[in-house]
């Protein structure tokens, strides 16, 4: 029987969800990690800033982890690194722009000096322990995206990262079909592929399509100021906006911290081609005639603190939306942001702007592959085993169907979940157990200190508020010395409900006076009595269930 | 100069928003109200159940209000009636199904005996004061929908209600083109028309299209159980599901309180044609072979307490989703519900169900008119003045553009807002002031007692929770007798943060001991000191800003 080491794939994020992508590749005792992303909080995660993967498994095997390789520089692929590297300081491999964006994050956290960053480029091959890691050019909505082929002694694991098949990419760097085909010719053991758009039939349009729309919009809005909101990291989109401005003789000002940052990094690293003298400061833009100005801004998702939102609410220090302005929202709302974006559009219309948004075609294209592209990827790489990644469950299911349609044998397709160990030999694959995996919530400086209990409390507080009942009791006699006082927040507007709260207070008082509890031992029964009496009364009167918090002081 | 009374239109809801539709038509001193709907709470309206229109204007003119006419039985057109009729008891006019659905609501509230309901049918004309009210058949996603022509001495106000132009409606009752054309021939003074889908090009598909999809799905799922979730009030959709079941030899069980209710009312009033013996109870359905059963259920919006959600979470008492079940979600997520619906779909897939949803075409059609239908409505009625209603601002703007495209003079188009008085003569229209209008929030039994302060508190509580600091002080000496104690909820997981909270307590204590405040007069400065010291310390340590609530007890 073969004593060959096993190959395992252990997804720590990105399966059954959009975001916090992270995949561990284990061969024998050695582990390589692909991507390390964050996710934005789901509904119900009140007050949470971001969500990162649970890396317990990696920490338990910390001496085995050889490094983290990155596919591209989006937050859902690199955003958890500042948190993870703090606990697990391993070398990081990525392309120039990816590491350039990461560099900014690490600098903010004072983590530059202790982090080892290896810059790679497409077709580079790096040997790390038993893994020969190869980086392969793909198109995506950020430049310098790569797929990763991990050559192991028993076969190739091919991880697409996020990709699309753009036949006419803005930078001319077409997906490396030749290398994909070579790998397919030799045979890929396992393909891990991006499922984000697996529900969409056909092909995703080329990024260049948006450039044409920009050009046309600039032509039509000849006399107006033009404001374009898009994703800060979509450097090709920014490039096309700048090209359109150049062609139509406009200067360009950039607004919004993250976009200013990306433009600076991308320019410095040579990913943005900026005509001399075209970029100006906002102050200068405000002095130029309207038809000589284009403004690039963040806020295409209606994010509450973003530049576009502040403009729409007439709350931006430097940019005032004026009647006649043309505002292009070059993005699709990410699920969950639909209402935020709609509100911004309405506000802009109310200020007299002409708003060009999602409902017009050609103003945005996706960075992810539709069904025909997904099938092409499978046919190019010809994998023995297939694992859909980067998607919610229904998307992975659909992707699995596509794989079956193009001939991958159904028992070679694994629709997995985070934490599952998928174990492969040259010939077989199986689910071989599971490791800890899940969501670590980040709230302010706290990483993982907000759990279900705290969230449950926040949800309860958010629904009907809180009533605090305070009473001071003599520790000897058990008699009430002060109170009970009732203080409420988020429950009712107090001035209109004085009567209700006074009656509530009287009921609590009566119930406490009946009781002659002494000492800590009996407090809990006293407290639950307060909760019962008050909860019942308030529900009867208001049909609300605020949190009730009895506090007993002893003197 | 003409002394003719003025005609005013005063929208009290439904302009610049989807929901709580309500329009006052005033001629001289007399007021007629069209529709009286509710809206579901927006994001940020934490804990709110529903939102209804502010009817201050009607209450101030209560003797002038002659009645409320209803266009159809959807919640956003009748849902506020139980609240409004309590304050303003006027006769209500509507078609049979509309009043049938209203009847159930009024019964629940014990309001049947004091409410006067007048049943009308299409082409009926009712004279109410100076208003001759005519009801005109239109298609919509609920049967018995009508548009309303209000004939006044100076001209006709034509209110479309919600409508679509369905050339092949399920009940064969085509929109009354003849009467629309007659009105247009004579001349309509003002057209008020549904803007919900004004951003959609082309035509909305016929409801019958969904019937074909049902039929095909039943054919393909020949051996499986079929579960269909849709809007409870879409009686034509239910009819088509029942027809498909009948054709494919299945029995039908109905689950979900609102759907059971609608099926019962619609059957009783003759709006559902139910083959003998086809309807069964769930218990019986569970005893039949899978391929003889179809289940109709609520929950197509992923509503947390709905039947489909409970099935998906394996939490429904009577229906367990089994591998192989086909679940049809015959609906589009209402904006804001996308993530809820996606979660349900994923859960159903995980249970092994085949889920047919939005991404497949033909599984749902809208009940609102697309651009070509909107233009047809304007061309049929040929209004002098045009007011887009029922839509968010950008939709009304788009609708106004369509009106201009078909030849309505731009200065005769009014994109208004709730509370604005639009005043018309035979020849002119203008904005003539405004009345109170807005959102009244309903939370449990409280109508309007939750305002901005309470909501702001709820939002703050939901983000970082609350810390309560209690201290008992001797009223004579100002010395601390007990405490300070700190209790937190929704802030951090206490067991992991004992040190933080203890240090916080010590700081508060030190700051209080420095102070020798006595009596109420100095409490507020003591409290703000506690807030400062604690807020600063916690933000420094956690970057969070919980609500801090100091409570001082005196003994």
Q: Which of B555, B344, B419, B443 is nearest to B16 (CA)?
A: B419
Lowest mean pLDDT of A368-382, B42-56, B188-202, B483-497, name the range: B483-497
Minimal Cβ distance to A339: which of B43, B200, B493: B43
Q: Which of A46, A43, A102 is nearest to A73 (CA)?
A: A102
This model of the complex carries an ipTM of: 0.88
Residues 349-408 of chain B whose Cβ lies under 8 A from any Cβ of chain A: 349-350, 355, 357, 359, 392-394, 397
C-alpha–C-alpha distance, residues B264 and B269, integer Å? 9
B77 is in an annotated binding site: yes
pLDDT tens column, A239-255: 999 999 999 999 999 99
The mean predicted confidence, pLDDT, of chain B is 93
pLDDT, residue A481, reads 84
Is the pLDDT confidence value at B281 over 70? Answer: yes
C-alpha–C-alpha distance, residues B112 and A137, integer Å? 71
Instruction: Give A78-121 as a DSSP string.
Output: HTTHHHHHHHS---EEE-HHHHHHHHHHHHHTT-TTT--EEE--
Give pairs for B23-28: CB < 8 Å, separation 24+. B23/B159, B23/B192, B23/B389, B24/B57, B24/B58, B25/B131, B25/B150, B25/B152, B25/B157, B26/B64, B27/B129, B27/B130, B27/B131, B27/B152, B27/B153, B27/B154, B28/B130
The mean predicted confidence, pLDDT, of chain A is 93
Q: Which residues of B329-354 are buried (b: 16+ CB within 10 A; e: fewer)?
A: bbbbbbebbbbbbbbbbbbbbbbebb
Q: How many CB atoms lie within 10 A of CB A112?
A: 13
Whole-prediction pTM value? 0.90
Q: Among B144, B166, B194, B464, which one carries the catalytic annotation?
A: B194
DSSP B199: T
Note whether B273 contacts A: Cβ–Cβ < 8 A: no
Residues 181-240 of chain B whose Cβ lies under 8 A from any Cβ of chain A: 199-200
Verify whether the Cβ–Cβ distance B553 to A482 is below 8 Å. Answer: yes
B103 is in an annotated binding site: no
Residues near B463 by beta carbon (within 8 Å), at least 6 away in sequence = A46, A47, A458, B545
pLDDT-derived band at B1, boundaries 50, 70, 90: very low
Note whether A324 contacts B: Cβ–Cβ < 8 A: no
Q: Which of B119, B182, B155 is nearest to B25 (CA)?
A: B155
Q: Which residues of A199-236 are buried (b: 16+ CB within 10 A; e: fewer)?
A: bbeebbbbbbbbbebbeebbeebeebbbbbbbbbbbbb
Note whether A446 contacts B: Cβ–Cβ < 8 A: yes
- What is the average pLDDT across A342-347? 95
CA torsion B38→B41→B47→B48, rounded to 10°?
-30
C-alpha pair distances (Å), A289 with each of A242, A275, A307, B406? 18, 20, 21, 35
Instruction: Please name the residue that has the structure tokens 């709905």.
Output: B306
Note whether A345 contacts B: Cβ–Cβ < 8 A: yes
Give the whole-number percent of chain A exceeding pLDDT 70.
Answer: 98
pLDDT, residue B297, reads 97
pLDDT, residue A520, reads 53
CB < 8 Å to B459, chain A: 462
For chain B, helix, strand, coil in percent to 5 are 35, 25, 40
Q: Among B325, B368, B399, B464, which one carries the catalytic annotation?
A: B368
pLDDT tens column, A385-440: 999 999 999 999 999 999 999 999 999 999 999 999 999 999 999 999 999 999 99
pLDDT tens column, B235-253: 999 999 999 999 999 999 9
Q: What's the token pair of residue A151?
A: 């050559």
Verify whether the Cβ–Cβ distance B462 to A457 is below 8 Å. Answer: no
Verify whether the Cβ–Cβ distance A445 to B481 is below 8 Å. Answer: no
Residues near A110 by beta carbon (within 8 Å), at least 6 away in sequence = none
Domains (ranges, CATH) in chain A? 7-202+366-447 (3.60.15.10), 208-357 (3.40.50.10710), 463-554 (3.10.20.580)
Minimal Cβ distance to A461: which of B357, B394, B490: B490
Note whether B535 contacts A: Cβ–Cβ < 8 A: no
pLDDT tens column, B306-363: 999 999 999 999 999 999 999 999 999 988 888 999 999 999 999 999 999 986 778 9
Asked if B422 and B412 count as a contact pair (C-beta separation under 8 A), the reply is: no
CB < 8 Å to B346, chain A: 16, 392-394
User: Does residue B248 have an active-site annotation?
Assistant: no
C-alpha–C-alpha distance, residues A524 and B145, integer Å? 58
Asked if B6 and B190 count as a contact pair (C-beta separation under 8 A), the reply is: no
C-alpha–C-alpha distance, residues B433 and B412, integer Å? 17
User: Does residue B194 have an active-site annotation?
Assistant: yes
What is the H or E stretch that residue B423 is in? strand B420-424
Asked if B366 and B358 count as a contact pair (C-beta separation under 8 A), the reply is: no
Q: Which of B417, B393, B382 is nearest to B9 (CA)?
A: B417
Verify whether the Cβ–Cβ distance A449 to B492 is below 8 Å. Answer: yes
Determine the residue among B493, B505, B535 to mutate to test chain A binding: the one whose Cβ has the most chain A Cβ atoms within 10 Å. Answer: B493
């Amino acid at each position: 029987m073969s004593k060959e080491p096993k190959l395992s794939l252990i997804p720590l994020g990105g399966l059954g969800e959009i975001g916090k992508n992270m995949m561990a590749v284990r061969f024998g005792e050695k582990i390589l990690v692909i991507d390390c992303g964050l996710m934005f909080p789901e509904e119900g995660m009140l007050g949470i800033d971001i969500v990162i993967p649970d890396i317990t498994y990696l920490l338990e095997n910390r001496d085995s982890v050889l490094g983290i390789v990155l596919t591209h520089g989006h937050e859902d692929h690199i955003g958890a690194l500042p948190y993870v590297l703090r606990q697990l300081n391993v070398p990081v491999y990525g392309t120039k722009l990816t590491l350039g964006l990461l560099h900014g994050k690490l600098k903010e956290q004072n983590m530059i000096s202790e982090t080892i960053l290896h810059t790679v480029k497409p077709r580079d091959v790096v040997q790390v322990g038993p893994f020969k890691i190869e980086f392969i050019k793909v198109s995506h909505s950020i430049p310098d995206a790569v797929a990763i082929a991990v050559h192991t002694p028993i076969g190739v694991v091919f991880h697409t990262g996020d990709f699309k098949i753009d036949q006419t990419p803005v930078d001319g760097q077409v997906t490396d079909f030749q290398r994909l085909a070579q790998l397919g010719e030799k045979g890929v053991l396992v393909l891990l592929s991006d499922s984000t758009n697996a529900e969409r039939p056909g092909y995703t349009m080329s990024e260049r399509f948006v450039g044409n729309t920009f050009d046309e919009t600039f032509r039509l809005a000849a006399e107006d100021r033009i404001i374009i909101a898009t994703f800060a990291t979509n450097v090709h989109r920014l490039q096309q906006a700048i090209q359109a401005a150049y062609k139509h003789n406009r200067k360009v000002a950039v607004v919004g911290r993250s976009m200013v940052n990306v433009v600076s990094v991308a320019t410095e690293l040579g990913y943005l081609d900026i005509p001399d003298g075209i970029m100006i400061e906002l102050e200068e833009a405000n002095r130029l005639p309207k038809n000589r100005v284009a403004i690039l801004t963040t806020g295409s998702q209606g994010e509450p603190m973003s530049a576009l939102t502040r403009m729409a609410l007439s709350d931006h220090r430097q940019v005032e939306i004026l009647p006649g302005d043309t505002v292009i929202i070059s993005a699709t709302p990410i699920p969950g942001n639909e209402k935020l974006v709609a509100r911004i559009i309405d506000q802009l219309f109310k200020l007299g702007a002409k708003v060009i948004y999602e409902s017009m075609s050609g103003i945005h294209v996706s960075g992810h592959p539709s069904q025909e592209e997904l099938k092409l990827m499978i046919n190019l790489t010809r994998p023995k085993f297939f694992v859909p990644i980067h998607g919610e469950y229904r998307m992975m299911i659909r992707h699995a169907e596509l794989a079956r349609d193009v001939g991958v044998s159904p028992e070679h397709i694994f629709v997995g979940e985070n934490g599952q160990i998928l174990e492969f030999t040259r010939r077989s694959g199986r689910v071989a157990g599971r490791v800890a995996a899940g969501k670590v919530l980040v709230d302010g400086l706290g990483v993982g200190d907000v759990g279900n209990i705290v969230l449950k409390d926040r949800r309860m507080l958010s629904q009907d508020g809180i009533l605090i009942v305070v009473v001071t009791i003599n520790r000897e006699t058990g008699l009430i010395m002060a109170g009970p006082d009732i203080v409420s927040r988020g429950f009712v507007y107090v001035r209109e409900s004085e009567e209700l709260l006074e009656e509530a207070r009287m009921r609590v008082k009566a119930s406490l006076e009946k009781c002659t509890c002494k000492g800590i031992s009996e407090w809990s029964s006293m407290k639950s009595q307060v909760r019962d009496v008050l909860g019942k009364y308030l529900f009867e009167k208001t049909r609300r269930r605020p949190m009730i918090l009895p506090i007993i002081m002893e003197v």
